[in-house]
Amino acid sequence: MKETGVYSISRPLGKIFSHQRVAVAIGSGASAVAFAQSLREGRWEGRIVLISKDNFLPYDKTRLSETVNLSAENLKLKDADWFQHLGIELRLNTAVHRVDMTKRKLYVETTRVPVPYTKLFIGTGSRGRLPTTRLVPGINLKNIYTISDIHEAQRVYDVSKGKTVVIEGSGFIAMELVSTMKNYAKMSYIVTRQKRPFQTVLGETIGKALQRHIMKNVSNVEFFTFDEIRSITGNEKGEVKMVKTLKKREINCDVVVYAIGSVPNSELFSADKRALVSKSGHIVVTEFCETNVTDVYAGGDVALVPLDCAVTGTATIAHWNFASYTGKIAAARILHINESIKPYIPFYYTSFCGITLRYTGFGDHYDESIIFGDIFDNLKFCVLYRRERKILACATVNADPIAARVCFNIGDHFQWEPGVYPKIITDTFPELPILGEEFFGFKLDRETCITLYDSQSTTEEAVRRGNRQFDASQYKDTEFPLGLAEDKQMNFVFMM
């Protein structure tokens, strides 16, 4: 099967599309594929072209941290025939290096001939965040990675077999990786600023329960908490040999993987002076995924969208399901159908160490978490995250389909009656729930949330302002306030 190159279309669906109108998507990820599919299914009569620097057919990126068996064949979303049938042209292995939004043309690296467009969708996604050399000397050594695409993930697995790996971060990608590296790497060390894995999203109690489960299931993992990598030293071949941490730990290792959030790939768009890009580098779009430049749309990890459930009213949700939905919304707008992203309720799914985890809503700054079920032995539970009279989010472990059902009870329209819970939860877990902790153990007022999440402020500003607003005496660990403020700023992109 042909996996790279340009797919030519011969009368797909028995018709010839108008060559006058061309919808081009940059990227071949979740958002771009959904954009192309929705446009064609909505009877767009012109050409549809996906231009991507990937040299594989569009694939499922969510699996990169879940399996060491990475191949285009294993991960592909659809066969080449499917694209051909819909009349979607794929120009793979083709990086776009410039977009001229005045002349409506884009320039690719493989040819000097510009590609004209009538409508443009930017679905360039994001890449893993790496610290700078100033913050972490030695960051340019060999065998230091993020997991941003299939090639990088493949390199991580190639160099990790039977070796010692240090993973910085303790969110979803980090924990999936630990589970995948079980029986594969010799040893994995997690270095994290948090006290517990998943803490920023799920809270300390659930973080503790999941950490216990991970440690029971993965014998070759150790957690170093309230800590972070401060420098990396290498051997004579320029490969990683040791990391030194804030807490003066020295960990001998062969590979370092950063799983500390992501950076949007928005450089193509922000090169245009007219383009509206947030300080965090995300492309600012309307509820219909339009940018401020006519006929240019954006979605997925690169876009900052207005969202009712976000505390500041805007957010980037770095999830597969969200990316696909933004692609559909942009296509709908082109087809003159106004479907708004604003009421969207995020939904995230994953599995690791033999459990399935679902999360729906946007639970930041909850007042209280309410836990149903067993978080100690058998790990089957559901957690509601509440703020005032609203359920902000719901997380479940091994308890499908609760999250999928409860997502309809989340959001502004739903006023929660204390002590009354969705029936599917009380039917599954008839015992009384227990209360978890508040968000990081203290309440934040709305203004503080906005300060921390303000897309117009830089991380440093947010840290300074955050530090002023938090009373350090509330914390047992004095490093925590700084870490918290930084993490909150990073988490403005709701990356799991």
| Chain positions contacting ligand FAD, by CB under 6 A | 26-32, 51-54, 61-62, 64-65, 95-96, 123-125, 147-148, 173, 265, 268, 300-302, 318-321, 323, 348-350
Rounded to the nearest 10 degrees, the angle between the axes of helix 30-41 and helix 320-334 is 40
Taking a C-beta distance cutoff of 8 angstroms, is the pair 163, 156 a contact? Answer: no
Check if the beta carbon of residue 200 is closer than 8 Å to that of residue 165: no
Q: What type of residue is 45?
A: E
Side chain identity, residue 402: I
Between 54 and 486, whose beta carbon lies closer to ligand FAD? Answer: 54
Q: Which is nearer to ligand FAD, 310 or 463 (CB)?
A: 310
- Select from 336, 375, 345, 344 the least CA-distant residue to 357: 375
Minimum CB separation of residue 421 from ligand FAD in Å reads: 26
Q: How far is the CB of 115 from ligand FAD (least distance, A)?
A: 11
Query: CB-based contacts of 338: which residues, under 8 Å, 6+ apart?
Result: 288, 332
Nearer to ligand FAD, 54 or 487 (CB): 54
Question: Shortest gap between Cβ of 69 and ligand FAD (angstroms)?
Answer: 15
Nearer to ligand FAD among residue 266 and residue 457 (C-beta) = 266
d(CA 138, CA 238): 9
Question: Judged by CB, which is closer to ligand FAD: 29, or 433?
Answer: 29
H-type helices in 98-187, by residue range? Answer: 150-160, 172-181
Q: At its nearest, how many Å lie between ligand FAD and the CB of residue 347?
A: 8
CB of 259 vs ligand FAD, minimal distance in Å: 8
Cβ proximity to ligand FAD, 153 vs 485, nearer residue: 153
Question: Minimum distance between the CB of residue 332 and ligand FAD, rounded to whole angstroms?
Answer: 17
Q: Which is nearer to ligand FAD, 470 or 494 (CB)?
A: 494
For 10, the 3-state DSSP assignment is coil
Whole-number Å distance between alpha carbons of 240 and 252:
9
Q: Is the dihedral of CA 327, 328, 333, 335 positive or negative?
A: positive
Q: Indicate the residue among 64 and 484 with the shorter CB distance to ligand FAD.
A: 64
CB of 90 to ligand FAD, least distance (A): 11
The sign of the torsion formed by the CA atoms of 192, 459, 439, 391 equals: negative
CB of 126 to ligand FAD, least distance (A): 6
Measured distance CA(147)–CA(131) in Å, rounded: 14
Kindly state the smallest distance separating residue 4's Cβ from ligand FAD, in Å: 12
- Dihedral sign for Cα 317, 320, 322, 324, please: positive
Residue number with CB closer to ligand FAD (93 or 428): 93
Give long-range contacts, CB 8 A cutoff, 24+ apart: 18-22.
18/45, 18/46, 18/47, 19/46, 19/47, 20/46, 20/118, 21/45, 21/46, 21/47, 21/118, 21/119, 22/46, 22/47, 22/48, 22/49, 22/115, 22/116, 22/117, 22/118, 22/119
